[in-house]
Structure 1
Amino acid sequence: MAIRLPPVHALSAFEAAARHGSFALAADELCITPSALSHRIRLLEEFVGERLFLRDGRTVSLSEFGRRYLDVVRAALRALSDFPLPHRSAAAQPRIKITVPPTFARYLLLPRLAEFGALHPDVAVEIFLSVPLYDLSLSESDLEVRFGAGKYPDLVTEKLFEEPTFAVASRTYLERIGGIDTLADLRKAALLRSALEPWQPWFEVAGLDWAEPSAGLRVDDLGLLLEAVRQGHGVALTRQHFVQAMLASGEVVQLFPDIQLKTPPHAYYVVYEQAETSRPEVEHFLAWLKSTFRSI
């Protein structure tokens, strides 16, 4: 029968928090955010089925169970750390954890990431994916790129870039519905919906007194939205950096080139907790990120 063990990263978080008597100091020691450390403590409390800490505002102290469990945890961690590892490398590699939306990662970050690697070959980059507008926590990341309105309380928020929004459709779809030559022709088209690219601001720029579409296919991922356009599901709004390859190949075409939303309601922001920038690898990646994407 398999043995169910507590996660080691949660045990180390528990030990550090107990030793410091502070989640903030423990998080700093482990190079994670306080919220990530709190998450690890909650995981361990759920595993053992007991409260490990008594919380009073910003002050934490061990519960009676926590004091007894700490002795067991320290003994286990000490046994692991004292075990001889003759082939272990001397120093841990600096690493940066970044959470990004999948479309940003695919079309914008990965094609440029080699530039950062050339500047800082000693830093390991770990990429995690988030869903825009839904996953709004930094989790265990050092930095996060978010696509949204830029209102994130208690976090440092810096705009990276925004770009015009315009309408696109595939050639096969246009042929199937008899073409779209005028704005009135949009009435016969399926307007693909996304909370990330709402139609209402574009309608206003186009001079259309139309309501936001409420029926039909909805896709709240910009990459999947563009794929739905490519496969002929309808007309959607998109942005230049995501669609340029499909435009160049002729798979999709831009509709009404003169009608673009110059200042979209959403943009890309990098968000982080100020304490994270005390680590050189985080500071280097943040500087590279801002320099790279503010000039695209």
Structure 2
Amino acid sequence: MPRRFPPVHALSAFEAAARAGSFAVAAQQLCITPSALSHRIRLLEEFVGDRLFIRDGRNLTLSAFGRSYLDVVVQALRTLTDFPLPHRTLSAQPRVKITVPPTFARYLLMPRLAEFTEAHPDIVVEVFLSVPLYDLCLNESDLEVRFGAGKYPDMVTTRLFGEPAFAVASPAYLERIGGIATPADLQKATLLRSALEQWKPWFEQAGLDWPEPMDALRVDDLGLLLEAIKHGHGVGLTRQHFAQEMIAKGEVVQLFDIRLEAPPHAYYVVYEQTSRTRPEVQLFIDWMMAAYPDSLRDA
């Protein structure tokens, strides 16, 4: 009969929860939901046939068995981590793993990334995608670009850049609704929604005492939001770097001269402090901080 081994993801969840003394904190560290972490703990408790934690309201303490089992788990995980891998060391290249929002990757990172790879051909760059506002925890990446409010506890957070937000629509849509001459005319338009580009600050800039729209299409990806605008679903807010190509082609047009100079959201570089100790990561961070302010000035 084959031997059964405890699931490694459950062991790491147990070790993280025991170290943090909190399921919520451990879940954040592992980039999973608290319910997912609780599920992993239950799975391990079913495997060992005993309780690992004693839960008393908000207090979380190890059971007597949990304390003794933790010593074994920590030692096992440390053995796996510290086991020498000579072949991997010999063949490993410096690499930087970066997680970015899809629209940033499409419009801002890929057109410039060759500058970094040509300057540092020995460094491998791995790009992963994340959905803004949904996954706010570093996973296995060395750094992230996040589009948000810039409030990320326990992380080094540096503003990369921000751009004014302005309203755009497709010519076909404007013709269909009879045109829009003033901001007040937006009352007859469908206002496309996004948690990333909220209307209320722009309304205030335009002198409109209107609430945030609560109906119509919502798209929480800025690239898809632009596609929805281009295809005539309504009026939406965007930024210059995303819309400039569509504006140049006449696929969308800017409405009014009103620009929200300081929108609530901007782009931030986010990473753990220890990431900067690796030279390749430091090089990539320095490159990003130098590259994007230049690109904004050239726009």
TM-score, with normalisation over the residues of structure 1?
Answer: 0.76
User: In the aligned structure 1, how far is the partner of 2:31 from the partner of 2:178?
Assistant: 57
User: In the aligned structure 2, how far is the partner of 1:203 from the partner of 1:193?
Assistant: 13
Which residue number corresponds to residue 115 of structure 2? 115
**What's the CA shift string for 1:143-196, capped at 9, x where partnerless?**
111111112222111111011111000111111111112223211110111111
Residue correspondence of structure 1 range 1-296 to structure 2 within 5 A: 35-36=29-30, 48-49=44-45, 63-65=67-69, 90-256=90-256, 258-296=257-295
Deviation at 1:35, TM superposition (A): 3.2
Which residue number corresponds to residue 25 of structure 2? none
Q: Any conservation in 1 of the 2:184–2:208 contact (CA below 8 Å)?
A: no
Question: What secondary structure does 2:133 align onto?
Answer: coil
* Letter of the 1:237 counterpart: L
User: In the aligned structure 2, how far is the partner of 1:38 from the partner of 1:214?
Assistant: 29
Q: Any conservation in 2 of the 1:6–1:44 contact (CA below 8 Å)?
A: no
Kindly tell me: are residues 5 and 113 of structure 1, through their superposed partners in 2, closer, same or farther at Cα, counting changes over 3 Å? farther
* Letter of the 1:279 counterpart: R
Deviation at 1:141, TM superposition (A): 1.3
Question: What secondary structure does 1:295 align onto?
Answer: helix
* Letter of the 2:210 counterpart: W
Q: Any conservation in 1 of the 2:131–2:221 contact (CA below 8 Å)?
A: yes
* Letter of the 2:118 counterpart: A
User: In the aligned structure 2, how far is the partner of 1:179 from the partner of 1:143?
Assistant: 44
Deviation at 1:101, TM superposition (A): 1.0
Deviation at 1:65, TM superposition (A): 4.1
Question: What secondary structure does 1:213 align onto?
Answer: coil
**What's the CA shift string for 1:248-288, capped at 9, x where partnerless?**
111111111x2111111111011111111000111011001
Kindly tell me: are residues 211 and 78 of structure 1, through their superposed partners in 2, closer, same or farther at Cα, counting changes over 3 Å? closer
Deviation at 1:211, TM superposition (A): 1.5
Deviation at 1:204, TM superposition (A): 1.2
* Letter of the 1:35 counterpart: Q
Q: Any conservation in 2 of the 1:95–1:124 contact (CA below 8 Å)?
A: yes
Kindly tell me: are residues 36 and 294 of structure 1, through their superposed partners in 2, closer, same or farther at Cα, counting changes over 3 Å? farther
Q: Any conservation in 2 of the 1:36–1:140 contact (CA below 8 Å)?
A: no
Deviation at 1:201, TM superposition (A): 1.0
CA RMSD across the alignment: 3.9
Deviation at 1:89, TM superposition (A): 9.0
Aligned length: 269
Deviation at 1:64, TM superposition (A): 3.9
Kindly tell me: are residues 94 and 75 of structure 1, through their superposed partners in 2, closer, same or farther at Cα, counting changes over 3 Å? closer
Which residue number corresponds to residue 27 of structure 1? none
Kindly tell me: are residues 105 and 5 of structure 1, through their superposed partners in 2, closer, same or farther at Cα, counting changes over 3 Å? farther
Structure 1: tracts of 5 or more residues without a match = 24-33
